[in-house]
A and B are shown apart, each in its own frame.
Chain A
Amino acid sequence: MTKQVQQLDRVIIRFAGDSGDGMQLTGDRFTAGTAEFGNDLSTLPNFPAEIRAPAGTLPGVSSFQLHFADHDILTPGDAPNVLVAMNPAALKANLGDLPRGADIIANTDEFTKRNLQKVGYDGNPLEDDSLAEWRVHAVPLTSLTVKALEGFDISKKDAERSKNMFALGLLSWLYHRPTEHTISFLEQKFAKKPEIAKANIAAFQAGWNYGETTESFSVSYEIKPAKLEPGVYRNISGNQALAYGLIAASVQAELPLFLGSYPITPASDILHELSKHKQFGVRTFQAEDEIAGVGAALGAAFGGALGVTTTSGPGVVLKGETVGLAVMTELPLILVDVQRAGPSTGMPTKTEQTDLLMAMFGRNGESPVPIVAPSSPSDCFDAAIEAARIAVKYRTPVYLLSDGYLANGSEPWRLPEVSDLPDISTEFAVVTDDEFKPYTRNTETLARPWAIPGTPGLEHRIGGIEKADGTGNISYDPDNHDRMVRLRQAKIDGIDVPDLEVDDTHDGTRVLVLGWGSTYGPIAAAVRRIRKAGGKVAQAHLRHLNPLPANTGEVLKSYDKVLLPEINLGQLALILRAKFLVDIISYNRVRGLPFKAEELAGVIQDVIDSD
Chain B
Amino acid sequence: MTELVNGKGLDLIPKTDAKQTLKDFKSDQEVRWCPGCGDYAILAAVQSFLPELGLRRENIVFVSGIGCSSRFPYYLNTYGFHSIHGRAPAIATGLAASRPDLSVWVITGDGDALSIGGNHLIHALRRNVNLNVLLFNNRIYGLTKGQYSPTSEVGKITKSTPMGSLDKPFNPISLAIGAEASFVARTIDSDRKHLQSVLREATAHRGTSLVEIYQNCNIFNDNAFEPLKDPEVRDDITLRLEHDQPIVSTTKAVVRAAGGGIRVADRATVDEDEILIHDAHNPDPSVAFALSRLDEPAFEHVPIGIFRQVDRPAYDVLMAEQLEQAAAKQGPGDLNELLLGGDTWRIS
Chain B, 74-112, CB within 8 A of any chain A CB: 74, 77-84, 87, 90-99, 101-102
> Chain B's nearest CB lies how many Å from the CB of A567?
29
Tell which of B94, B119, B123, B348 has the most Cβ of chain A within 10 Å: B94
What CA separation (Å) do A20 and B329 show in the bound complex? 35
Please measure, in the bound complex, the distance between the C-alpha atom of A278 and the C-alpha atom of B57, giving whole angstroms: 31
Chain B 46-89 near chain A by CB (<8 Å), digits 1 or 0: 00000000001111110110100000011001111111100100
Interface band, chain A: 35 or more
- The 8 Å CB contact of B91, one of A181, A299, A459, A473, is A299
- The answer to whether B333 and A280 touch across the interface, beta carbons within 8 angstroms, is yes
Contact A453:B335 (CB < 8 A) given known A233-B346, A460-B79: no
Q: Which of chain B's residues have a CB closer than 8 A to the CB of A131?
A: none
A458 contacts across to B, CB distance below 8 A:
58
Chain B residues with CB under 8 A of A305: 94, 98
Q: A181-B343, A303-B94, A463-B64 are in contact. List 16 more A-B contacts (CB 8 A).
A: A225-B347, A235-B342, A258-B97, A278-B326, A279-B330, A282-B323, A287-B123, A291-B87, A296-B93, A297-B94, A302-B95, A303-B99, A324-B84, A415-B344, A456-B57, A460-B80
A453-B102 contact in complex given A298-B94, A416-B339, C-beta closer than 8 Å: yes
A-B contact pairs, 22 of them (CB 8 A): A35-B343, A229-B347, A232-B344, A233-B344, A234-B340, A235-B342, A278-B327, A280-B338, A283-B323, A285-B97, A288-B120, A295-B91, A295-B93, A296-B90, A303-B94, A325-B83, A453-B59, A454-B101, A461-B29, A461-B74, A462-B81, A473-B29
Q: Interface on A for B, CB 8 Å cutoff?
A: 32, 35-36, 38, 181, 225, 227-236, 244, 247-248, 251, 256, 258, 260, 277-283, 285, 287-289, 291-292, 295-305, 307, 321-322, 324-325, 329, 415-416, 418, 421, 453-465, 473-474
Count of chain B residues near A, Cβ 8 A: 61
Bound complex: CA of A283 vs CA of B324, how far in Å? 11
Using Cβ atoms and an 8 Å threshold, which residues of chain A touch B63?
299
A231 lies within 8 A of B346 (CB): yes
Complex Cα gap A103–B25 (Å): 78
Instruction: Say whether B343 contacts A235, CB under 8 Å.
Output: yes
Whether B27 sits at the interface, judged by CB under 8 Å, is yes
Query: Do A288 and B123 have beta carbons less than 8 Å apart?
Result: yes
- A277 and B339 alpha carbons, distance in the complex (Å): 12
Q: Are B95 and A299 in contact (CB under 8 A)?
A: yes
CA distance A285 to B57 in the complex (A): 28
Alpha-carbon separation in the docked complex, A285 to B90 (Å):
11
Contact between B90 and A453, CB atoms less than 8 A apart: no
Task: Give the distance in Å from the alpha carbon of A305 to the alpha carbon of B319 in the complex.
Answer: 15
Which residues of the other chain, A, contact B92 by a CB distance below 8 angstroms? 299
Contact B61 A453 (CB under 8 A): yes
> Do B120 and A463 touch across chains, with their CB atoms under 8 A apart?
no
A256 touches B343 (CB 8 A): no
A183 CB, min distance to chain B CBs, angstroms: 13
Kindly list chain A residues whose C-beta atoms are within 8 Å of the C-beta of B99: 303-304, 453-454
Does A461 lie within 8 Å of B27, measured CB to CB? Answer: yes
A300 touches B98 (CB 8 A): yes
Main SS class of interface, A: mixed
List, in ascending order, chain B residues with CB within 8 A of A181's CB: 343
Given A32-B343, A454-B101, do A461 and B80 touch, yes or no (CB 8 Å)?
Answer: yes
B190-228 interface (Cβ within 8 A of A): none
A405 to B331, CA, bound (A): 34
User: Which of A225, A247, A463, A473 makes the CB contact (< 8 A) with B83?
Assistant: A463
**Contact in complex: B95, A281 (CB < 8 Å):** no
Tell which of A232, A244, A247, A297 has the most Cβ of chain B within 10 Å: A232
Smallest CB separation, B78 vs chain A (Å): 5
**B residues in contact with A301, CB < 8 Å:** 94
Interface residues in B291-348 (C-beta closer than 8 Å to A): 319, 322-323, 325-327, 329-333, 335-336, 338-340, 342-348
Judge whether A464 and B119 touch: CB under 8 Å: no
Residue pair A285, B333 in contact (C-beta under 8 Å): no
CA distance A305 to B83 in the complex (A): 18
Residue of B27, B61, B79, B95 near A300 (CB, 8 A) is B95
Q: How far apart sit A457 and B63, CA to CA, in the bound complex (Å)?
A: 19
B329 neighbours in A (Cβ, 8 Å)? 279
Q: Are B84 and A300 in contact (CB under 8 A)?
A: no
Q: Is the CB of B343 within 8 A of A234?
A: yes
* Residues in chain A near residue B78, CB distance under 8 A: 459
Contact string, B235-272, partner A, CB cutoff 8 A, digits 1/0?
Answer: 00000000000000000000000000000000000000
> Please, how many angstroms separate the alpha-carbon atoms of A227 and B347 in the complex?
8
Chain A residues positioned under 8 Å from B342 (CB to CB)? 234-236
Highest count of chain A CB atoms <10 Å: which of B59, B84, B323, B330? B84
Nearest B residue to A301 by beta-carbon distance? B94
> Are B338 and A454 within 8 A (Cβ)?
no
A288 and B347: CB pair below 8 A? no
CA distance A260 to B94 in the complex (A): 8
B271 to chain A, nearest CB (A): 47
**Which partner residue on chain B sits nearest A231 by CB separation?**
B347
Q: How far is the CA of A36 from the CA of B348 in the complex (A)?
A: 14
By a CB distance below 8 angstroms, the chain B residues around A225 are: 347
